[in-house]
Structures are given as C-alpha cells and as structure tokens.
Chains A and B, each alone.
Chain A
Amino acid sequence: MSDLKTQVEEVRGSFNSAIESVPTTDALQELRVRYLGKKGVLTSLLKSLGGLPPEERPLAGETLNSLRDELEKKFESRKLALLGAENEAAEATDWVDVTLPSRGRPWGAFHPVAQTMHEIVSIMQGLGYSVVLGPEIEEDYYNFECLNMPSWHPARDMQDTFYFPDFPDADAGSGAADTAPGAPGAEKSSKRRLLRTHTSPVEIRAMRRYGAPLRIVCPGKVYRRDNDPTHSPMFNQLEGLLVDEGVSFSVLKGSLIELMNGFFGRELKSRFRASYFPFTEPSMELDIECVECGGKNPNCRICKGTGWLEVCGMGMTHPFVIRAGGIDPEKYNGFAFGMGLDRMAMLKYGINDLRYLFNGNVSYFLSGRDA
C-alpha cells in the first residue's frame, strides 16, 4: 500500500512538473497519452490493482481514480491556457495595418449652399411651411409689376436685370388673366422675358394657384447683373410667404427667430430694423448677432465691428401684392421674407469668398474635412 502511495506521489510530481513546462497543445497531447493513454503510466497503475489483496483494492482504486481526475482537470486547464496563448499568437501574426488607407470610395461632400437650402426648408416644414418652386426665366409682369415695382420705380435700380430678346412665340397664349390689378391695362413690356432677380415672383404664382390661407417657402436661383468680389451674377434666395386672416408682425418675428436659431443651432440675439421694400408695408430687416465674434471684436472681418449681421429682408405683404395674387386684401393679410442662401451658407460654414461657390472645384469642397 505504501508502495502505491509512493508511486502515486511520484506520478503526481512528475506530471505536475512536466505539464508546467509543456510548450504547446501538441506536446500537451503527448503528455496526456504518456500518463492517461491506453499504455500510459496511470493506466498501467490501474491495471496493476488486480495484483493487490482484495481488501486493499477499494482504497487503492479510490486513490488512483482521484489521481486520474486530478490529472484530467489539470490537463484541461493547461489546455485552455495553451490554446488561448496559441490563438493570440496566431492572430498577432495574421495582422492588418489598420492605418492603411481605406479601400473603396471615401464619402463625398455636400455643397454648402444646397445643404443650407435643405436644412432651412426642413426647419420651415416643421413650422407648417410647404415648398413651392417657380421658373427662373420670368416675365417682367411677375418679377416686377405684380410686386408693386412698375418700370419707372427707383427700387429697380437695385436689381440690374438680365433680359432675353423676345421669344418667337412669347405673345401666344395667356392674356386676360395677366392684367395687373390696379394697373390701367398691362403694358406690352410686361411680358418681357428676364432672369428673375428675386424669388418673390413665386409668391404671386403660388397665391394665384393655391389661394389663402397659404404658408410657403420658395428656394431657388436668382440673377442680377453684378459681378464683383461680393456679388455673383447668379445667387440663391429663399422666399417665405404666409397669408391668412389677421396676421401679425409678431408671427413673422417668431418664424424667423425660429429659422435662425434652428439653422445656427443656438439662440441668437436678433434685432428688427425698419426698412423698405416695394412689395411689403411695413418693411423690416433682420440683423442677427455676429456668428463670428458675437459682437466682441471691433475689428471683426464679418460684422465689421458692428456686432450685427444683416440676414433677411421682410415685411407685411403690401395689399397691392395680395390683390395681384388674386386674394382679397380686405379679408386676408400676410407677411413675406427673403434671404440669401449663399450668405447664410457663408456665415455658417465660414466661407470668405463667394467666387469659390459656383466653380465646381472638388478640392475646395473637400477642404471642409481632412482630405
């Protein structure tokens, strides 16, 4: 018996020291075969039980079986440890340089002005405004006359206009419906084709098409005959119009404050200055606090030290215009506003030079992010 005990201790001792130094799962497997295999050390000890006296057998068997369990357990835990290390080593070899440039196409880039248009339109949609579009090639009648700007009006001086020579079939079609309300017979010049100088003619077309109540925004390209560092002959505007019964200037304020705060993503100080537009009465302009310096930099490049940025013209729609839209100004009134989308985009995205906006230069638009 004591002989067996000694043998058990020996086996345990040698197994323990062997398993500690086993380097791989393969070597571990060999070790297992050596101790626990069919011809293994432990197996032959178990086989030798038969040579013991019957009264010693149960105890000896128990001793050997518990040794076998112990070895199996150690073997399993060692196997897990080795497997883990081996997998780790294999993955370390099978490495990818994660700093390599990605394959496939990188994200493109939005145009700041288009982005601005979509952002503002969706803010205004939340306030119940619908989008209505109009033609970029307009008639004098819609672009000027219906908006209370007859041909002699000095306000036209501010909107140098591109014209088209008469169209071959320009005078065909629509007639009677196009007589300006309040004007004694539309002049022939009123059908003269031009590139719209503002998005305001869409107000007239929308009022005639949809009537009142009406709540719309009209984004689009407009054109004026200017070309210098601060004026492009083509630029983008967004017009807003609300017509209903008993409309207050306060609602115009609410709509625009919400638009500005939504677009710039924070509460901005604003002020409403009296101004003049032929198609609104009274008329105002909206100044917002300088988004660059907040009014703190007397040498600010954006606000020129005034602390204010002029962003939007507006007013209560002139009764003449409501009537030109085919709506009864005794019953309905409203307001309209118009802003430059290019200017809004330049303010939000810190763009200094208008000229880069319309030349399609990829590197410029990608400069908004790391190339």
Chain B
Amino acid sequence: MIVSWQLLNRFVDLPVSPEEAAARLTMSGAEVESIERPGESISGVVAARVQSLGRHPSRENLFVAEVDTGKGKAVCVTAATNLKAGDRVFYGAPGAVLPAGAGPDRAGPSGKMELGVRDFGEVRSEGMMLSAEELGLPGVDIEEGILVLPGDAPIGADARALCGIGDVLLDVSVTPNRGDLLSILGMARELKGLYPDAVLKPMPWEKSAPGTGDWPVPFGAISLPDDGCLNYHLGLATNVRIGPSPVEIRVALSRLGMRPISNVVDATNYVMLLLGQPLHAFDLNTLPEREITVRRAFEGETIVTLDGKERVLTSKDMLITSGREAPGGRPTEPIALAGIMGGKQTGINDDTDIVVLEGASFSPRRVGHTSRRLSIASEAAFRYSRGVDPALSALGVDYALSLMAEWSGAEIGCRKLSAYNVQPEPQPVVLTKKKLQTYLLWSDMEESTRILEGYAVRRVKEKEAGKTGKGGEDARVFLPPTWRPDIAIEEDLIEEIGRYRGYDAAPVRMPGVLPRRGDIGPETSLAGSLRACAIARGYVEAITYSFLPESFVSALRLPGSDPRAHPLSLENPISQEWTAMRTTLVPGLLNGLRESVASGWRGPVRLFEIGRVFLRGPAGPSEPAGQSGPEGHGEPDVMAGLVCGGTDPRSPWPETRDDFLSVKADVEAFLRARGVGAVFARGAEPFGHRGQTADILSERKKHEKNEKNEKSGKIGYLARLSPAIERELGFTEPVYVFELYLTALESPDRPVYAAAPPFPAAFRDISMLVPNAVTQAEVLAEIQALVSERFASDSAVGGFSDSAAGGFLESVKLFDLYSGKGIPAGYRSMAFSLSYRASGRTLNDEEVDRIHNAVRDTLTQRGYNMR
C-alpha cells in the first residue's frame, strides 16, 4: 500500500522524518519497500495566471497566452483549447525540469525534460504551460489540455508546495493480518503506537455532523438475512452534479494508485484510502426497488459486475439486492456482489443526481471466499477480506457525504438508514508474566502495559473483563480496539510487545541437549552417499522439474499396461510443457542432455538425479514408511543416470569412452556403496534398445553362515535408448540411461570380512565355444552349479573328506572373450579362469587336475566345444 506522508500528517504529528519512520515500520512488521519523492524530479515550475489569450497570428490551432508568473510576465504558445483568461495554471519557465518520460518525445539525454525557448513562427514561446501528464500525474487531467488550478492557487508559488505534488510516498507491504493498516488512519495509529511522543489529531469526520432529515424519496427497510453482513448503512445525497473532484484530490488519488473518475466516486475512494472503509455509491434511479436485502446468492444465480463480466454464484456468496424477500415471491434483484464489486446496472453515471451511499461491514471470511473463488482483486475485497473495523462504516458514509457536498454541491441533510446483525465484540485477552518471560526472556509488565496502550490495547479490570485472574500482578487483562481483530490470544499480545521492543533485543540461546542425537534419516543419508559416489565417478548432479508434458508417455513408447504410462495430471497446469507429474526421471535428464548440446557442450555428458517419481495407485512397497502421504499415489525415490559420449568424442585416450559396460560399472559402484551386489539380467524396457537392456536385481549378502545370498526383485534397469528414440530426439551418439528405485538401498548392508586364506590356490583355465544366445552369466552359473552338484557327493572323483558342497572351486572368472576369425559364426569363444582352493591344506596338482578334467568333460558332454 502507498502511504502519503502529507495525508498521514493530517492524522498524526510525527516527531521523525519519513526515513526514520520507514525504518521503524520495517522492523516492527510493516515493511517499507521504497520511499519516493516524485516531486523532486520537477523544478522551476510555478503557479501562474493566464492574463490574456489570443490566436496565433499565423498558425492555425495555436494560441498565444500572456501569463503572470509572479515574477513578471511571460509569453507562451499552446495548442490546448481548454483555457480562458483568468485561469491559473502550472507554468514552467525556460530551464524548468520535468520528470522523465512525462512529455511525449521531448525527453533529453538524461531522461529528464528541460524546458527552453522555442519559436513558433513570429512568436517566441518562453517555457510552457503544463498538463498534468507532463508533471508526471497520469489521469489527473479531466480534459485534454492544460491542468487548471483552483482559483486561489497563489501566483508564483513553487509547484512542489501545491496540490500535494511535493508529497513523500512510502510503499508499505502490509501483511494479511493487518487489514487496519490499509488506510492512512491505520498507519497513523500504528506510528502513534511506535512513537509514544506522536500526537493523534482530530479525525476529519469530527467536523461533519450527520444529517437528521427524512428522505425526500420513500425508501423501505434494509434487511440482513445473511449474517455475513454485520451492519449496513445507507446515506443520501440529492441534487448531485457529477463533475471532477478538486485538483488536489485527483493528485492524491493518482499518487496513491487510483484513477480519478468523478466527484462522487472519488469521494468514496478517497474515504477508503484515508479510513480503510470501502463505500459504494448507487444511482437511486437505477435501483429496481427502493428496499435493500443482503442475502446469500442462489446456486447458479448471476450478476454482471461493474467490469462488465457476468459472475456465476454459489450459496456461499453474499449479494446486495434490491427488494424485499417474500415467501414464494420472486427473488430480490442483485445490485452488488457484497464487499467486492458493484453491479453494472446500478452504478454512477454522468446523469446521476441522487446518490445512495452504502457503508457496510462484511465478514472477512465470506468476502475472502468469494473474491478468491472468482479471482476478483478489487480494493474493497482486498480490505474486507483482511478485516475492516466494523465501527467505521457509519462514519465513512458521513464523511464521504460531507465531501460530496463540498465537491458537488450535493444536499446531504437526510439521516442514514441502518441495519445491524450481531456485532463481534473485542474479547479481553490475558497477558501472564510467565508466558511473556518464556517467549521473550523479558517480563516487565509495567512497560508491556505502556506499549500495549500505545497501540490502543487497553488494560481493563478483571471484573470489567468478566475474567477470573490467574494471579494478581502477574496476569493483566487487555481489551483490543475494534480495528485489531488480529489480537485474540496471549501470543498476539506478546507479539505487540516483541515487535515494539524489536526482536534484536532478545538474547541469543542455543537449544539444549536432547536425550538423542540428530538423525539425518535414511533417505537423506542414502542420497548423500550415492551423490558423493556419482560425482566422484564423473557424473554431474541435476535437479529437473517434477512436471512433464503428457506427451512423454508416447515419446517413451510406454504401453497402457505400464504404470508409468498413467501420470497424475494437474488440474491447472501453468504451461503446456508442464501438465503431468513425472513417473520416471529419464525425460528430465534427456532434456538436460538436449540443453547441454544446444548450449554448445560437445564433450561426454554424464548426468544423474536423485528425486521422486509420482505413481498412481496405492503406495507400493517402494514407498518409504517415513513419508507416507495421502492415499491413492506413491512417491518413491529414484536415482537416475544418463550417459552420452558427446558430439565430439575425439580424445587422446580413446579407450576411456563410455559404453554400456562402463555405465554398468558405475551402477555396480552405486549399489556397492550401499553394500548391495547387483545382478544384471537381459531385460526389456519400452524405450530400451532391444539388445542392450538389462534388468537390475539386487543381491544381498547374508551374514549368517550357510545362508545363500538373497536375490531381490527388479530394483532398476540399465538400457541404451532405443535408436529410434535417439533419432527422434536428434542425438547422434548412443544414450545410456538407468534408474534405481532407492527404497531397496535404504538400509546398507555391512560388508563381511574374512582372514586371508592360509593355503595357496591352484588355477586352471577353460576355453570354450558358446552360442551367441547364451550369456556369460549362464555359462558361469552352469559351471558353478555343475561343480557343486557333481563333486559335493561324488567320492569317486573327489572323495576328499573336507569337501563341502564343491568347496574346492573358489571362483570362476571370465578372462577372455573373442569372436571373429577362427570362430564359427554364431559363436563366441569364452575363456574362464577357475581357482581351486582347500581351506585346510594345499591341494596337489593331481587332485586339481582330476576335478578340473571332470569339469571339462561334463561341459563337453553338455555340448560345449572345448578349445
């Protein structure tokens, strides 16, 4: 809200400068965002009187005026047609400076405009007479041309001293709890509270006596069946002549951000800015009935508001209507959306001569509800939804009527018509020394009382408050004023005291020791160790938007049977690119790759992101227990990665290029960082390369002896993107992506340590031809299985007493892989190194050969071609 320092000083005598007051307001809760002195950009402009006015001798459409500037006479040329001799105007002599951007196409290099002498044919114009726009006051002119001043404007006076042009404006950010501060009056009261030496002045309405006469036109009752209207007053102004309001008022409205309209409308707006009380003026002759009913709207009822829009209403909305409700009768006619905006039909127009002025008090809750639902941000709705002092509505009507009388010659002698519902009364609030001490570590009850009374929060006797004391002087009872509904509980009183004293005054203390340590939590600590590992392996961490365009489903070829194909869609997305919640992190990373390439990055791209995906359906087992939210969806944590060789793969070290198996090593490392072994199996993803996609299964070590390692289900995948998708996205290099569902990794496995084996191992190799359809893992598994099956119980071959479940075969490892020359088509040559070891002795060559040969023979029997 913009606060005029000049208007403020009509309400309160302040002992400080605008800057000091702004600093104090900022620290105590009403942040002043800027202090402007718009008049400072004007200099050399004075009030002057038009002595004579005549046509230019040779140029059509121009006039020559002689003006009395107070220091002498000056001649200036103007094209304006609104002047007559005797008018007082603002005159800028040569050398005068006007605000930047004020005049069309005449601004100098500094942005400001300096006036000079200019020849119009044979007439030399010394400076010029000014329009309001040229003075930086848009909307203040009532007609095209020069701004005409009141007849008593002192000739020769500097413009900055006139009509509020030299005002200081404070832009204050008012918090939603302080509706009372949305007025000059409220600001004056606030500053009075902050500065005990400040003196409040008599209020302007104290001069205006309310009328007492009867209405010259018959007007029926006001009824308030909707209790969202607390009180309702109607005042009457007759013989109104619609016209402009005084220059000074128009300047004030313009400076405070409102457009001057007419003397009647300006009066209502001016009173709203000063007092914070919204008012609404109806043209009496446009009201369908001369009765008012404030009622709830019917479902689906409509009203066309002043802005010309048709509003469809619900029973939660409140209407001002014309007419009286009768059982079975037709509904009363809506004339305004209560507290928000008037109806188009009943507003003030140029011919209005009888004004019915409404001042009312509405429930913040009801106005807030309707204005939010309909997205109407009117000045009235803004104030009502933040709370308007219910005591102001009648005063506001009286004050505005007196202004209309002054500005439009209206007659205002009639009494107000009023109706009331149950009024909310301020409730007493107890302040205890104990709580004050707890909160602020300070508890001077005397000083606190002085502070509160400065804010007009009155100390009352317990009896008066109807409360039983909590303990003598250690508890005092206070009654907030009607304009402070935000003060309702003890903490509110503590806030008043705290902000007056300033929170910097409070001492600094550290939290005490708890009986337990701070726990970083499984998700955060998991993310911490994974990201450390990924960054060490050359990955760049990304955070991408949780929203995706719905089209990601088809871009990734996700079939209807895939849960990821049914994202949660937003009801009110902000952009077509962000309509659905992501079900996979891959599109975000692909976008990161695209952005990187687009911004000129040519090297390898390795990205990872740890974040949530959003899946429909009941929260599955992948949902971490600690964050269970609303039912109907799950938010599992996922780590995703993307690797692409880049558009410029050239490197002095070609062997370091990423490929499927190097990314596999990364994924294994991430899992290993959590003590989890990974098993990669041939798999399928809808967006994966048919031949280069792996399911990732986790394998956890069991700590108990003789327990087999436990293989879990699928915890993720690693895939090269399908070449068709790579082409669609414009990537010329293979793109590898992986996703790991993190719940499976939350509790890390402890590694199991063992002493170095005391007896040496013996090594034997096997080289064999394997059909392409058979994977390395399958061959490996076959060798291991056959050793454990065949030699566990076969004493004919083994026959060693310490042989337990094929215990001699320590490991099998692929050490060579070859296909091409010398190998039949459709086959790969795989060479494995087998290591044999006994736990209690050194195996001799003969035993090892016997076992090894049996392994070879068995494999041959199973159809493998040994080499």
| B478 close to chain A: CB less than 8 A | no
Alpha-carbon separation in the docked complex, A169 to B536 (Å)? 44
Q: Report B-chain residues with C-beta under 8 Å of the C-beta of A118.
A: 524, 527-528, 531
A111 on the interface (CB 8 Å rule)? yes
CB neighbours (8 Å) of B385 from chain A are 152, 154
Within 8 A of A (CB), among B588-626: 588-589, 591-593, 595-596, 599-601, 605-607, 609-612, 614, 618, 624, 626
Cβ-defined partner of A273 (8 Å) among B31, B368, B573: B31
Which of A31-39, A64-72, A75-83, A359-367 sits within the interface? Answer: A359-367
Which one of B535, B572, B588 lies within 8 Å of A163 (CB-CB)?
B572
Which residues in B have their C-beta under 8 angstroms from that of A151?
A: 369, 372
Given contacts A108-B606, A154-B368, contact A169 B578 (CB under 8 A): no
A314 CB to nearest chain B CB (Å): 10
A interface footprint on B620-659 (CB within 8 Å = 1, 0 otherwise): 0000101111111101000000000000000111001000
**Contact indicator B524/A219 (Cβ below 8 Å):** yes
- Are B635 and A170 closer than 8 Å at their CB atoms? no
Which chain B residues lie closer than 8 Å to A258 at the CB level? 510
Interface residues of A in 101-139 (CB under 8 A from B): 101, 103-111, 113-114, 118, 121-122, 124-139
Across the interface, do B514 and A165 meet the contact criterion of CB distance under 8 Å? no
B555-574: which have CB < 8 Å to A? 568-574
A113 near B631: Cβ-Cβ < 8 Å: no
B467 part of interface (Cβ distance < 8 Å): no
Query: A125–B369 Cα gap in the complex (Å)?
Result: 41
Chain B residues within 8 Å of A361, by CB: 592, 595-596, 599, 601
A17 contacts chain B at the CB level, 8 A cutoff: no
A254 touches B438 (CB 8 A): no
A12 at the interface (CB under 8 A from B): no
Beta-carbon contact of A255 and B536 below 8 Å: no
- Give the contacting residue for A137; candidates B439, B536, B614; CB below 8 A: B614
A316 and B627 contact, CB distance less than 8 A: no
Question: Across the interface, do B631 and A276 meet the contact criterion of CB distance under 8 Å?
Answer: no
Contact status A110-B538, CB under 8 Å: no
Q: Are B176 and A154 in contact (CB under 8 A)?
A: yes
- Distance between A2 CB and nearest chain B CB, rounded to angstroms: 70
Known: A225-B572, A233-B574. A274 touches B499 (CB 8 A): yes
- B residues 503-559 in Cβ contact with A at 8 Å: 503-504, 506-511, 513-514, 516-521, 523-524, 527-528, 531, 534-547
Which of B498, B516, B593 is A282 in contact with, Cβ under 8 Å? B498
Question: Separation in Å of the B512 CB from the closest CB of chain A?
Answer: 8
Cβ-closest chain A residue relative to B542: A360
Establish whether residues A167 and B29, one from each chain, have CB atoms under 8 Å apart when the complex forms: no
Instruction: List A residues 259-276 near B (Cβ within 8 Å).
Output: 271-276
* Known A-B contacts A173-B631, A251-B510; A107 and B547 likewise in contact (beta carbons under 8 Å): no
Instruction: Give the residues in chain A near B495, CB-CB below 8 Å.
Output: 274, 281-283
Within 8 A of B (CB), among A273-326: 273-276, 278, 281-284, 316, 318-319
- The interface-forming segment of A22-30, A40-48, A52-60, A240-248 is A240-248
Residues in chain B near residue A172, CB distance under 8 A: 631-632
Q: Tell me how far the C-beta of A212 lies from the nearest C-beta in chain B, rounded to whole angstroms.
A: 12
B136 within 8 A of A: no
Given contacts A172-B631, A282-B499, whether A360 and B521 have CB atoms under 8 Å apart is no
A219–chain B nearest beta-carbon distance, Å: 7
User: Is A215 an interface position by the 8 A CB rule?
Assistant: yes
* CB–CB A254/B596 < 8 A: no
A134 and B372 contacting across the interface, CB-CB below 8 Å: no
Point out the residues of chain B lying under 8 angstroms from A173, CB to CB: 631
Pick from B90-98, B201-209, B486-494 the stretch touching chain A: B486-494
Known contacts A118-B524, A358-B543: A130-B518 contact under CB 8 Å: yes
Q: Is B775 an interface residue (CB 8 A)?
A: no
A368 to B600, CA, bound (A): 17
CB of A193 within 8 A of CB of B503, answer no
Interface centre among A193, A272, A360, A364 (most CB of B within 10 A): A360
Residue B441 at the chain A interface, CB threshold 8 Å: yes
Q: Are A213 and B514 in contact (CB under 8 A)?
A: yes
B546 touches A136 (CB 8 A): yes
A249 contacts partner chain B, Cβ-Cβ < 8 Å: yes
Query: Which residues of chain A are near B572, meaning CB under 8 Å?
Result: 162-163, 225
Report A-chain residues with C-beta under 8 Å of the C-beta of B433.
none
Chain B residue with the shortest CB-CB distance to A124: B518
**Cα distance A366–B609 when bound, in Å?**
15
A250: interface (CB < 8 Å): yes
Name the interface size band of chain A: 35 or more
Residue A155 lies at the interface, judged by CB distance under 8 Å to chain B:
yes
**For the side of the interface on B, what is the size category?**
35 or more
Evaluate whether A274 and B531 lie within 8 angstroms (CB atoms) in the complex, with A110-B541, A137-B581 already known.
Answer: no
A104 contact set on B, CB distance < 8 A? 653, 656
Q: A103-B656, A249-B440, A275-B175 are in contact. Are A109 and B518 (CB under 8 A)?
A: no
A74 at the interface (CB under 8 A from B): no
Name the A residues within 8 Å of B492 (CB-CB).
281
- Whether A360 contacts B591 by the Cβ 8 Å rule is yes
A135 touches B630 (CB 8 A): yes
Question: What is the CA–CA distance of A167 and B633 in the complex, to the nearest angstrom?
Answer: 9
Q: Known contacts A131-B520, A137-B568, A365-B540: does B592 contact A360 (CB below 8 Å)?
A: yes
**Nearest CB of B to A130, in Å:** 4
What CA separation (Å) do A275 and B29 show in the bound complex? Answer: 5
Residue in B506, B513, B545, B653 whose CB lies within 8 Å of A253? B506
A255 touches B511 (CB 8 A): yes
A193 touches B630 (CB 8 A): yes
CB distance from A312 to the nearest CB of B (A): 13
The answer to whether the Cβ of B365 comes within 8 Å of any Cβ in the partner chain is yes
Proximity string of chain A (201-245) to chain B, C-beta cutoff 8 Å, 1 when within and 0 when not:
000010000000101000101010111000001101000001000
Interface centre among B365, B511, B627 (most CB of A within 10 A): B511
| CB proximity to B under 8 Å, residues A140-186 | 150-158, 162-165, 167-170, 172-174
Which of B538, B599, B630 has most chain A Cβ within 10 Å?
B630
Within 8 A of A (CB), among B25-67: 26-29, 31
Q: Is B334 an interface residue (CB 8 A)?
A: no
B177 in the interface, Cβ–Cβ < 8 Å?
Answer: yes
Q: B630, A170: Cβ atoms under 8 Å?
A: yes
* B212 at interface by CB-CB < 8 Å: no
B178 at the interface (CB under 8 A from A): yes
Q: Is the CB of B368 within 8 A of A132?
A: no
Closest beta carbon of chain A to B320's beta carbon, Å: 19
Question: What are the residues of chain A within 8 A of B498 when measuring CB–CB?
Answer: 249, 274, 282
- Expressed in whole angstroms, the Cα–Cα distance for A134 and B624 within the complex equals 10
B861 sits at the interface (CB 8 A): no
A100 in contact (CB, < 8 A):
yes
Residue A197 CB within 8 A of the other chain: no
Q: A258 vs B535: C-alpha distance in the bound complex, in angstroms?
A: 28
Contact present for B632 and A362 (CB under 8 Å): no
Answer whether residue B366 sits at the interface, using C-beta atoms and an 8 A cutoff.
Answer: yes
Query: Can you show 17 pairs from A to B with CB atoms below 8 A apart?
Result: A104-B653, A121-B524, A122-B520, A128-B517, A131-B521, A136-B614, A154-B364, A156-B372, A248-B506, A249-B506, A250-B509, A271-B504, A272-B503, A274-B503, A281-B491, A360-B588, A363-B599
3 tightest A-B CB contacts, nearest first: A360-B592, A135-B629, A105-B538
Known pairs A128-B514, A133-B627; list 5 more (Cβ under 8 Å). A103-B652, A205-B629, A215-B518, A282-B439, A360-B542
Binding site for B on A (CB under 8 A): 100-101, 103-111, 113-114, 118, 121-122, 124-139, 150-158, 162-165, 167-170, 172-174, 191, 193, 195, 205, 213, 215, 219, 221, 223, 225-227, 233-234, 236, 242, 246-251, 253-255, 257-258, 271-276, 278, 281-284, 316, 318-319, 333, 357-366
Q: Which residues of B contact A (CB under 8 A)?
A: 26-29, 31, 175-178, 364-366, 368-369, 372, 382, 385-386, 438-441, 489, 491-492, 494-495, 498-499, 502-504, 506-511, 513-514, 516-521, 523-524, 527-528, 531, 534-547, 568-575, 578, 581, 588-589, 591-593, 595-596, 599-601, 605-607, 609-612, 614, 618, 624, 626-633, 635, 651-653, 656
